[in-house]
């Protein structure tokens, strides 16, 4: 059952905080800059600080006081802002279309939201509303597309690209939806899939594993997906081939990491098109980075998109090939900034090394990194973490964060550095917000030590609704047969 409550007005409570400290302190009126709030290049343009030093999120004429919300709903809690997803999808599509027009690129642009980034309907539906097509990676994700089609959640002309290994169930569902008139394009990954789909009546794509490495957060020396470049060319004519697809990596760190593969892909596309004249689309996959740490500026979406379009035009013009349609499958780029995760600090402990204190502290949270933010320890991802309250304090404590499970890996140490947070001696209660948690964390979440998953709230149109209640012990136990 969904419950809702109007957002409380900005609090006028005043809290006294000691201002003396030997640490570097934010200058007067410089707290937003210190905490990296209100900056489009850091994906924090919707965030602000109230006069009382509490975290705010702005949505048009509405604003949400995060401290007031969690005082009502408790922690650990995830808060979703679908307006951020809508804005990012709309901006992405409009920017690609604008640069295609400015630069004279003749192909069409299609944005496909990669559902694996977050399959919750509160993330998928806002993306579709603003014009996103879909990219699915499994039979179960495609089943959700079938469910949305049956419920009239999108226009029947939406395009669906199907990546990932094609089980028989997956292929049958592709065929079923194709028969219902939906444009469903399976991307062929290997010879077995090619043989199985030879009689498929709809469009197909082919995935190539380009032999190119770029600077990326998740760079893989070996990749099990797709054909090699030489294998693709040996395939010859492929029935109903319309898409050449590649995916270089995740969280690509530089624009050059996107531009470099386009030249290689364009040359392969030109050769492949000689025997496959129906080939008309180049899908460059995902990989658009998210500035998770906020410590340095990443490329902007505008600069990245302009260089992608510019590079594609340059290389296809050089080859004398008609400009293909372009697809990107950017998932994290769109949904990561749309969710924050909130914890309460429940205790502190002194960090010791060789039995000695270095003046730093462990802050213990009422949640779990291993359960709720799996990428913390799985791929050592770093997060931007700020206080929910006491954002105006000048006395800061260098801290590491410890989760609530009995596991030494359930912690966040910011890569060996420290997270600056208010001193607990100055704060009757302290809450923290972890930014950019909208991508992948839900699907990867676990129940280590049988800890409950956080509550999930939806903040939209000035109201806050519960879309997933915090799990009870009975509910968690039932998952394990109790």
pLDDT in tens, 208-247: 999 887 776 655 566 778 899 999 999 999 999 999 999 9
Q: DSSP 3-state helix, strand, coil percentages of the chain (rounded to 5)?
A: 35, 25, 45
H helix runs in 36-81, sequence order: 66-73
Which residue in 272, 324, 268, 330 sits closest to 299, CA to CA? 330
Count CB-CB contacts under 10 A for residue 39: 15
In the chain, % of residues over pLDDT 70: 92
pLDDT number for residue 16? 32
pLDDT number for residue 250? 83
Interval 1-15: pLDDT, tens = 344 433 443 333 433
Cα gap 61→333, rounded to integer Å: 25
Tell how far CA 290 is from the center of its chain: 8
Residue 308 banded pLDDT, cuts 50, 70, 90: very high
pLDDT number for residue 17? 30
The strand pairing partners of 387, in sequence order, are 432
The strand pairing partners of 400, in sequence order, are 362
Residue 72 banded pLDDT, cuts 50, 70, 90: very high
Decide if pLDDT at 291 tops 50: yes
Interval 106-165: pLDDT, tens = 999 999 999 999 999 999 999 999 999 999 999 999 999 999 999 998 887 899 999 999
- Region 179-188: mean pLDDT is 96
- Tell me which of 7 and 250 has the higher pLDDT: 250
Cα gap 464→482, rounded to integer Å: 33
pLDDT number for residue 352? 86
Q: What is the mean pLDDT of the chain?
A: 91
- Tell me which of 417 and 1 has the higher pLDDT: 417
Cα gap 75→82, rounded to integer Å: 20
Interval 362-400: pLDDT, tens = 999 999 999 999 988 888 889 999 999 999 999 999 999
pLDDT number for residue 220? 59
Residue 359 makes CB contacts below 8 A (sequence gap 6+) with 398
Ranked by mean pLDDT, which of 75-79, 407-411, 469-473 comes out on top? 75-79
pLDDT number for residue 11? 37
Question: To 10 degrees, the CA torsion angle through 78, 10, 295, 414?
Answer: -50
Cα gap 233→453, rounded to integer Å: 48
pLDDT number for residue 284? 97
Cα gap 263→365, rounded to integer Å: 48
Cα gap 330→251, rounded to integer Å: 10
- Region 455-460: mean pLDDT is 97
| 3 state DSSP class of 194 | helix
Are 223 and 189 contacting, i.e. CB atoms less than 8 angstroms apart? Answer: no
**Residues comprising the chain, all counted:** 482
Residue 303 banded pLDDT, cuts 50, 70, 90: very high
- Tell me which of 295 and 481 has the higher pLDDT: 481
Sign of CA dihedral 95, 248, 378, 114: positive
Decide if pLDDT at 358 tops 90: no
Count H helices and E strands in the chain, helices first. 15, 24
Are 322 and 269 contacting, i.e. CB atoms less than 8 angstroms apart? Answer: no
Using the 8-state DSSP alphabet, how is residue 300 labeled? Answer: P
Cα gap 306→111, rounded to integer Å: 15
Cα gap 387→342, rounded to integer Å: 9
pLDDT number for residue 38? 94
- Region 287-296: mean pLDDT is 90
pLDDT number for residue 18? 29
| 3 state DSSP class of 411 | strand
pLDDT number for residue 3? 40
Residue 435 banded pLDDT, cuts 50, 70, 90: very high
């Amino acid at each position: 059952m969904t419950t809702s409550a109007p957002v409380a007005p900005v609090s006028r409570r005043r809290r006294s905080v000691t201002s003396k400290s030997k640490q570097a302190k934010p200058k007067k009126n410089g707290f937003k800059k210190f905490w990296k709030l209100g900056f489009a290049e850091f994906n924090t343009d919707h965030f602000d600080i109230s006069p009382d030093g509490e975290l705010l999120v702005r949505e048009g004429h509405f604003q949400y006081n995060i401290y007031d919300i969690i005082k009502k709903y408790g922690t650990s809690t995830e808060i979703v802002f679908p307006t951020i997803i809508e804005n990012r999808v709309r901006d992405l599509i409009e920017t690609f279309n604008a640069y295609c027009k400015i630069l004279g690129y003749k192909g069409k642009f299609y944005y496909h939201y990669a559902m694996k980034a977050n399959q919750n309907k509160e993330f998928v539906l806002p993306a579709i509303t603003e014009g996103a097509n879909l990219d699915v990676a499994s039979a179960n994700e495609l089943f959700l597309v079938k469910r949305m089609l049956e419920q009239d959640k999108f226009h029947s002309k939406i395009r669906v690209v199907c990546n990932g290994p094609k089980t028989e169930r997956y292929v049958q569902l592709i065929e079923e939806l194709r028969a219902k008139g939906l444009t469903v394009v399976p991307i062929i990954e290997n010879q077995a899939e090619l043989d199985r789909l030879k009689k498929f009546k709809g469009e197909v794509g082919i995935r190539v594993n380009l032999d190119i490495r770029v600077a990326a957060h998740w760079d893989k020396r070996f990749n099990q997906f797709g054909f090699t470049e030489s294998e693709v060319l040996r395939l010859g004519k492929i029935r109903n081939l319309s898409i050449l697809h590649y995916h270089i990596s995740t969280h690509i760190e530089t624009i050059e990491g996107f531009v470099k593969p386009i030249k290689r892909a364009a040359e392969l596309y030109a050769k492949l098109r000689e025997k496959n004249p129906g080939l008309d689309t180049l899908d460059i996959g995902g990989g658009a980075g998210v500035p998770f740490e906020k410590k340095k500026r990443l490329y902007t979406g505008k600069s990245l998109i302009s260089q992608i379009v510019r590079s594609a035009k340059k290389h296809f013009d050089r080859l004398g090939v008609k400009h293909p349609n372009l697809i990107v499958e950017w998932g994290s780029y769109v949904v990561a900034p749309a969710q924050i995760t909130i914890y309460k600090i429940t205790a502190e402990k002194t960090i010791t090394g060789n039995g000695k204190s270095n003046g730093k502290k462990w802050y213990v949270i009422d949640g779990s990194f291993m359960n709720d933010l799996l990428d913390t320890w799985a791929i050592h991802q770093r997060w931007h973490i700020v206080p929910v309250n006491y954002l105006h304090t000048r006395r800061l404590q260098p801290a590491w964060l410890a989760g609530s499970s009995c596991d030494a890996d359930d912690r966040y140490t910011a890569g060996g550095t420290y997270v600056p947070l208010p001193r607990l001696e100055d704060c009757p209660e302290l809450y923290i917000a972890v930014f950019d948690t909208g991508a992948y964390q839900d699907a990867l979440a676990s129940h280590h030590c049988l800890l409950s998953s956080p509550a999930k709230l939806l903040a939209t149109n000035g109201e806050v609704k519960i879309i997933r209640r915090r799990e009870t012990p009975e509910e968690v136990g039932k998952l394990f047969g109790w």
